[in-house]
Amino acid sequence: MPAGSRPSAAPGTSPDFLRAALDSLTSEIVILDESGAIVSFNATRERFVRDNPQAGSLLPGVNYLEGCESAQGECVADVRGVARGIRAVIAGELPEFHHEYRRDTASGRRWFIMHVTVFTHDGKRLISLAQVDITARKRVEAQLRLTDRAIKAVSQGVLIAGPDQRILTANQAFSIITGYSEEEIVGRTCRFLQGPLTDPKTVEAIARAQVNREDFSGEILNYRKDGAVFWNDLTISPVCDEEGAVTHFIGVTRDITARKQAETEFENLNRRIVEVSRQAGMAEVATSVLHNVGNVLNSVNVATTLLGDRVRTSKAGNLAKVAALLRDHATDLPGFFTRDERARHLPGFLEKLAEHLVAEQRAMAGEIDTLRKNVDHIKDIVAMQQSYAKVSGVTEFVSPADLVKDAISMNAGSFDRHSVEVTTDIADAPSVEVDKHKVLQILINFLRNAKRACDDSGRADKHITIRVRQAGEKVVFAVSDNGVGIAPENLKCIFSHGFTTKKDGHGFGLHSGANAAKEMGGTVCVHSEGPGLGATFSLELPLRSGAHGPADHKGLSQIAA
């Protein structure tokens, strides 16, 4: 009989009808003769062998039993057990044989049940093998056994509901979490546990997952039986049979109220820390402003002292003496100029006095001009500080170069006093949409730390470099110094709250800067080769507010280098 042939029709039965009937079966049918050789098979078995070549050949005459007995792999005992049962039926030792066994297939390990029966056709005794794939059922049974053990063993709340969502059972932990005993909830639908505090979107998501036979996982706010509000972490999973129909829903829940309260307290604490840090940052800005204003006031004081001295020592008073002399001789001025020796010297005296007063006027005008410039400088410093003292959270487009210029200006006096050279390397970069106060707070902190690192190094050539580069959709500010550097063990905690290596440090300057950068969708980082080798602090910000993509640490490292 050629490969793929079908059994001949029984008397009074159409061959086409019998073939159609066998091919319509979902079970795999194989017909053997009494020697164990294959006589025929149906389309389902043919598809199985085609998808799983290791299942053996379907060629007529091939001995099915020998193929089973020569099986290899971890499941060999199960497969050979099938061969022993078939031989027992052929020998008449068993009227029929039913056996569950495992087999390795192309899709992985699967479970089957084999039904072996004997029938006679055209006077020949034939053996019918009907094989059914029960992998799905075995998996459901394993899930149910695991669920049964889980209900007894775990400390989490567990309930089981039927396909109609009516609760079948719940463990003691579930009763402790919700306050309801098992007797009070069995028979009621799961919606009974979804109180008025449950987010309607969450209720909709649960229903959608159950209809689609999908897992649901989420955090739900609800009431206990005694009216207390609590949070629970809920997971609902469907259990399906081999046909794909839902047989049970398993719900697992944990009381996470304490965790949610801790998260709320942490958020409140972090907001307070951010606010205190922001106020401290504003205080640093104000301190810098006062330093700069103080430096300018020194120049103002010098200018006003010089003006006072020039006024007090001015020769303008000699004009009054000349006027008095002329007034005394007003009735005889011609005779005065003719006879009085003083009159002959008066023109030369007036000429010299005029030259002196012109020089004095020129000098005083110069001092007044210097004074005016210094007053304008103070006004600029105050105006700049006021522009950065706006309410945080207001974003606007500003030039990165202007931000660097302002940060340097507000530290210029400190750099001059400590002989720190500051250079800039600012590449063309578009305006960035940021909260200017937060950026200034970060940059001033970087510059102050760099200046102090240079001071602590004791070297004469103190140098700070500020670089600005565009990296994709971000802009990176990098402040490098040739100061004392940072030890490797301190790099990982440099931005942690409370961490400082300064004797008078408070440990929240860099931490607040890191928080401010995060609020703007940016990041801060630090790089140092070690003690004595300087350090680089970098700030990366998105060009547009709200464009908070993942941090490009490669871009940061390139700028730092």
Answer with the residue of higher pLDDT: 326 or 293.
Answer: 326
Same domain, 418 and 522: yes
Query: Which structural domain, as residue segments, surrounds residue 503?
Result: 396-560
Which residues are registered as beta bridge partners of 99?
114
Q: How confident is the model at residue 15 (pLDDT cuts 50, 70, 90)?
A: very low
Q: What pLDDT shows up at residue 4?
A: 42
Same domain, 248 and 208: yes
Nearest to 118 by CA among 94, 82, 83: 94
Counting DSSP H helices and E strands in the chain, the numbers are: 18, 17
Structurally, how many domains does the chain consist of?
4
Please tell me the least confidently modeled range out of 6-15, 30-39, 137-146, 213-222.
Answer: 6-15
Q: How far from the centroid of its chain's Cα atoms is residue 8's Cα? A: 69
In a domain, 190, yes or no: yes
Write a three-state SS string for 177-236.
HHCCCHHHHCCCEHHHHCCCCCCHHHHHHHHHHHHCCCCEEEEEEEECCCCCEEEEEEEE
On the question of pLDDT at 381 being above 90, the answer is no
In a domain, 65, yes or no: yes
Kindly report the pTM of this predicted structure: 0.37
Same domain, 315 and 379: yes
Structure tokens at 560: 């730092």
- 354 φ, ψ to 5°? -65, -45
Nearest to 170 by CA among 55, 57, 250, 76: 250
Longest Cα pair distance anywhere in the chain, in angstroms? Answer: 177
Structure tokens at 374: 């210094």
| List of residues 6+ apart from 223 with CB closer than 8 A | 195, 196, 197, 229, 230
Q: What pLDDT shows up at residue 388?
A: 56
Please tell me the least confidently modeled range out of 415-429, 495-509, 520-534, 546-560.
Answer: 546-560
pLDDT in tens, 434-485: 888 788 878 888 898 899 899 888 888 999 999 999 888 899 999 999 999 9
Q: Which of 220, 236, 255 is the last residue of a domain?
A: 255
In a domain, 1, yes or no: no
pLDDT in tens, 275-300: 776 676 666 666 656 655 765 676 67
- DSSP 3-state assignment of 10? coil
Q: Which of 185, 220, 255 is the last residue of a domain?
A: 255
Same domain, 217 and 291: no
CATH of the domain at 519: 3.30.565.10
Indicate the burial class of 153 (C-beta count within 10 angstroms; 0-12, 13-18, 19 or more). Answer: exposed
Same domain, 83 and 188: no
In a domain, 9, yes or no: no
Q: What pLDDT shows up at residue 417?
A: 79
Same domain, 274 and 362: yes
Indicate the burial class of 145 (C-beta count within 10 angstroms; 0-12, 13-18, 19 or more). Answer: exposed
Q: What is the DSSP string of 358-427?
A: HHHHHHHHHHHHHHHHHHHHHHHHHHHHHHHTSPTT--EEE-HHHHHHHHHHTTHHHHHHTTEEEEEEE-
H or E element: which one contains 97? strand 97-105
pLDDT in tens, 156-173: 888 888 888 888 888 888
Q: How confident is the model at residue 412 (pLDDT cuts 50, 70, 90)?
A: confident
Which amino acid, residue 311?
V
- DSSP 3-state assignment of 492? coil
Same domain, 530 and 499: yes
Q: Which of 133, 148, 176 is the last residue of a domain?
A: 133
Which amino acid, residue 303?
A
The predicted model gives 303-321 an average pLDDT of 78
In a domain, 535, yes or no: yes
pLDDT in tens, 510-534: 777 888 888 888 999 999 998 989 9
Same domain, 296 and 412: no
Same domain, 65 and 116: yes
Q: How confident is the model at residue 555 (pLDDT cuts 50, 70, 90)?
A: very low
Residue 146's CB is within 10 A of a number of other CB atoms, namely 11
Answer with the residue of higher pLDDT: 366 or 401.
Answer: 401
Structure tokens at 330: 């007003």
Q: What pLDDT shows up at residue 552?
A: 42
Same domain, 415 and 401: yes
Same domain, 421 and 541: yes
In a domain, 70, yes or no: yes
On the question of pLDDT at 22 being above 90, the answer is no
Residue recorded with tokens 């164990």: 36
Q: How confident is the model at residue 105 (pLDDT cuts 50, 70, 90)?
A: confident
Q: Are 171 and 198 in contact (CB under 8 A)?
A: no
In a domain, 187, yes or no: yes
| List of residues 6+ apart from 58 with CB closer than 8 A | 3, 4, 38, 41, 45, 46, 49
In a domain, 79, yes or no: yes
On the question of pLDDT at 385 being above 70, the answer is no
Same domain, 88 and 128: yes
CA distance 374 to 551: 43
Q: What pLDDT shows up at residue 542?
A: 92
Write a three-state SS string for 101-157.
EEEEECCEEEEEEEEEEEEEECCEEEEEEEEEECHHHHHHHHHHHHHHHHHHHCCCE
CATH of the domain at 21: 3.30.450.20
Q: How confident is the model at residue 547 (pLDDT cuts 50, 70, 90)?
A: low
Q: Are 521 and 530 in contact (CB under 8 A)?
A: no
Tell me how far CA of residue 124 lies from CA of 35, 89, 211, in angstroms.
Answer: 12, 15, 52
